[in-house]
Amino acid sequence: MMIPGTLEERMRLRRELRLFVQGKALCPPVSLKQLEVLAEEFVECLELRELNELRELRGLSELRSWLMVEINNQLWVDVIAAIPYERRLLMLPKCLSKYGECEGEFDEFGLLCHRCGRCYIPAIQDRAEQLGSLSIVAEGFTQVIELIENNVVDAVIGVSCLDSLEKAFPLLVSHAVPGLAVALNDSGCRDTHVDGEYVEELLSMISPEEHVLLDHDAIKGQIDNWFKREELECVMGRGEDKTSKVCLDWMLSGGKRWRPYLLCSVYQAITGDSCMNENVRRAAIAVECFHKASLIHDDIEDKDDTRYGLPTVNSMYGDAYAINAGDALLGQGYRILAQSNDVELVRLIADAHASLCKGQGDELEWCANPHPIDLDFSLGIFRNKTVPAFEVSLLLGLACTGNHVHLRPMLKAYSEALGIAYQLKDDLEDFHDDNELAMRPSAVYALRCMHPEWSDEEVKNEMKRLVGEYKQQALDALNDVNCLELKRLLYQVTGKVVRG
C-alpha cells in the first residue's frame, strides 16, 4: 500500500477527488466494492503526470487503498459538515506521540494525555475541545461503534495508518457510520505524522443547515408503546372470548418486532416525519399480526413446544385450537389494514402471504417425499418463503409514504438478495452433520447432492462464498438510492442480518 509522497501531491489529489465525486452525484454510504470501482475509474480518467508515474513505478494496487479512503471522505464530507460539533468524535492513534517520551497512560477510554507538548496530539485535542467535539486516543474502532450505537456521537473523524483503516472499513461500512478518515503519512507504529492542517480543516468545517440523523431508539420506543396491552386492545378489540385473549397474549409475547421497526424506519427515513400517521401504526401492527400468525402455524408444522422460552400455542391448547388462533390473527391483520382505506397495503400483504405459503408448501412437499436437489431448488424456496418476510415490511413502509414508487424495484431487488443471504447463513450455521441435512431442502444439502465428493470444509467455504455474494448483491441494489437515511438504514440492516 502506498500514500502519495508529498503534502502537495496529497492535497492536489484531494481536490481532484472532490471534483470527481461531485460529478458522480452519489449518496453515501457506498460499499467497498463500489469504492474500488470508483478508485479505478478515477485513475483511468485522471491525466496527472505524477499519478501516471506512480502507476508505472508502483502499480495501481498500491495506491488504491488511499484513494478509496479519500473518495469515501468526499462522499461524507457535506453530511458531516451538517452534523453539530458536539455530535462528532475525533479519534487519534497513540503512535502520533513521541515513542519512549510519552508520559500518558491508558484507561478504558484511551490515552490520558499529560499535555507535555512533545507531539501533535494535545494541539489537535485542544482544537476539538474548543469546537465542542469529543476526542479520544485509542487503538481500534470498536469503541467508535459503541459510541455510535449508544447515541453518544453521530459522526467520527479518525486518524490511523492505512493498514488499520483498511481493516476497519468493513466495520464502518456495515454500520453506515458517517465518517472521515485521514491516513498517517508513515508506516510503522511509532513517531508517525499526519497532515495536521487537513485534519483541522475537516474537524472545523460546519454547514449552516443542520442534519438530524434517523433516531432509531425513538422509533423503537414508539413501536413499544403501540404494543402495550391497552393500545393493542384499542386496535384489535377487547374480545372476551378465549381465542381473542390468546391472540392478544401472543401479540404481547417475546420477539424484537423487527418487521414493524423496518416498516416505520423506511417511512421515516424517506419522509423525515417523526410523527408517524395512523396508517403507519395500523400497517405496523398488522404486519406483526401476520408474523405472529405464521409463527403459530410454523410451530404446529414443526411440532415445537417452546418459543421465546415459553410454551407454544399448540403445546398449550392443541393443534386445532392453534390453527384457529393463527387464522384469527390473519383476519385481524387484514381487518386492521382495511381500515386504512388503502388497497395497496392490503395487496402487498396478500401477495407476501400467498408467496410465503407457496414456499412453505414446497418445503413440506419435499419433506413428504425427499429427493436429491440442486441449489436452484433451494433458492426457489428461499425466494418464496424467506424473502417476503423482508420485502413486505420495506414495501409497506414505502407505500405508507404515498409516493416514491420509483424505489420499489430497488427494495424488491435488495430484499431478494438479503433474504437469500440470510437463509444461506442460517443454513450454514445449522450444518452439523449429514444426518440433519436430509431433514429439509437446505442449501447445504443441495451442495452435498451436487458435489458428493466435497469435504465438509469445501461445502462450508462455498456456503460462505455464496453468503458474501448475495450480501454484496443486496448492497449493489442500493447503489442508485439517493436518500441518505434510507441507504444508511438498509446498510445497517444488512450488517445486522448478515454479520461477517
In a domain, 346, yes or no: no
Which of 414, 446, 412, 411 shows the shortest CA–CA distance to 428?
446
pLDDT of residue 485: 95
> Domain check: are 123 and 161 in the same one?
yes
Last residue within a domain, chosen from 341, 361, 385: 341
Last residue within a domain, chosen from 147, 179, 204: 204
Which of 142, 162, 374, 390 shows the shortest CA–CA distance to 258?
390
Which grid coordinates are listed for 153? 456521537
pLDDT of residue 494: 95
Please name the residue ranges forming H helices in 46-120.
49-58, 60-81
> Domain check: are 320 and 421 in the same one?
no
In a domain, 319, yes or no: yes
Last residue within a domain, chosen from 341, 363, 398: 341
Collapse the DSSP code of 372 into the 3-class scheme (helix H, G, I; strand E, B; otherwise coil) and give the result.
coil
> Domain check: are 235 and 323 in the same one?
yes
> Domain check: are 62 and 169 in the same one?
yes
> Domain check: are 53 and 114 in the same one?
yes
CA angle 169, 173, 177 (to 5 degrees): 105
Alpha carbons 355 and 72: distance in angstroms, whole number: 39
In a domain, 14, yes or no: yes
> Domain check: are 415 and 310 in the same one?
no
> Domain check: are 195 and 222 in the same one?
no
In a domain, 40, yes or no: yes
In a domain, 347, yes or no: no
pLDDT of residue 58: 46
> Domain check: are 90 and 127 in the same one?
yes
pLDDT of residue 146: 79
> Domain check: are 239 and 163 in the same one?
no
pTM beyond 0.85: the answer is yes
Q: What is the domain-level CATH number for residue 402?
A: 1.10.600.10
In a domain, 290, yes or no: yes
> Domain check: are 12 and 143 in the same one?
yes
What's the structural domain count of the chain? 3
In a domain, 11, yes or no: yes
pLDDT of residue 379: 97
pLDDT of residue 467: 97
pLDDT of residue 50: 53
Taking only the tens of pLDDT, the chain with its 500 residues reads: 588 888 998 999 999 999 999 999 899 999 999 999 999 888 877 655 455 555 544 445 568 889 999 999 999 999 999 999 999 999 888 877 766 566 666 655 566 665 666 677 888 888 999 999 998 887 667 777 778 878 889 999 999 888 888 888 778 888 888 999 999 988 777 778 899 899 999 999 999 988 888 888 899 999 999 999 999 999 998 888 999 999 999 999 878 899 999 999 999 999 998 888 999 999 999 999 999 999 999 999 889 999 988 899 999 999 999 999 999 999 999 999 999 989 999 999 999 999 999 999 999 999 999 999 999 999 999 999 999 989 999 999 999 998 888 999 999 999 999 999 999 999 998 887 555 556 789 999 999 999 999 999 999 999 999 999 999 999 999 999 999 999 999 999 999 899 75
Which grid coordinates are listed for 324? 384457529
In a domain, 147, yes or no: yes
Contacts 24+ apart (CB under 8 A), 185-189: 185/3, 186/161, 187/161, 187/163, 188/95, 189/95, 189/161
DSSP string for 112-156: E----SSSSHHHHHHHHHHHT-EEEE-SSSHHHHHHHHTTS-SEE
> Domain check: are 269 and 328 in the same one?
yes
> Domain check: are 150 and 237 in the same one?
no
Domain that holds residue 284: 214-341
Tell me if 330 sits within 8 A of 290, measured CB to CB: yes
